[in-house]
Amino acid sequence: MPQLNDKAVGAVLLAIGTFVFTYYSIWTLVIPFVDVEQPIRKLFPPQWFAIAIPVFLLVVGVTGIFGFLSFVMLQSGKKAAKKST
């Protein structure tokens, strides 16, 4: 059932989006003002990770995109060289 599959994907995306947004917003905007002993702090890793994880994902993502681009360009260059010989 293609429409059920689409709706499932949509629901999953929606859930991931809302969860990531609320979690990260609380992590960066609320937790720094909460005392170190409060129990809510146990749900969130140290602040260092709030910056490290997105930066790491960004680096991996951009490297992947550029790697894919160079791979495709090298392949098409090889194909053009083959054709001209």
Task: Detail the DSSP E strand segments found in the chain.
Answer: none
User: What is the closest distance, in whole angstroms, from the C-beta atom of residue 16 to other proteins in the complex?
Assistant: 6
43 contributes a contact to other proteins by CB under 8 A:
no
Size of the site for other proteins (CB under 8 A): 27
The count of residues in the chain is: 85
Measured between alpha carbons, how far is residue 12 from residues 22, 24, 40, 58 in Å? 16, 18, 26, 22
58 contributes a contact to other proteins by CB under 8 A:
yes
63 contributes a contact to other proteins by CB under 8 A:
no
SS3 state of residue 78: helix
Per-residue DSSP letter, 32: G
Residues lying near other proteins in the complex (CB under 8 A) are found at: 3, 6-7, 9-18, 20-21, 24-25, 28-29, 32-33, 47, 50-51, 54-55, 58
